[in-house]
Amino acid sequence: MRSQLKDARTAVVVALEGREWPLGWNDKAWAQSWSVYWSALAGRMADDAFRKVAEAYNYLELLQSGLAAGGRALVGNDEKFLNDVRTSIDAAEPLVTG
């Protein structure tokens, strides 16, 4: 999970630095991974920690949609969204392993 969060954070940084949704990130399956991991995590994590990880993966699901449209310029609230994703990932990453 930690490696997925790091990958997603990299995608966010690339998007923010390039001012566009980057190409080559459309094959990520972060949302599908969450569907596998969430029940095991819910049983062993403190509520607040689980909430932070769940929030990050909710953002990752939305991030997947943006990355699927790679190559287009950031518009509207894209930059705010990407910064919110990065903040959420930064809060969740220390709470997970692997």
CA distance linking residue 31 with residue 61, whole number of Å: 5
Range of the domain at 37: 2-95
The domain tally of the chain equals: 1
Find the mean pLDDT for residues 10-36.
89
| pLDDT given at position 98 | 60
How confident is the model over 32-63, as pLDDT tens digits?
A: 888 888 888 888 899 999 999 999 999 999 99
| Phi-psi region at 24: left, alpha or beta (left = phi > 0; alpha = psi -120 to 50) | left
What percent of the chain stands above pLDDT 70? 99
Q: How far is CA 19 from the centre of its chain?
A: 18
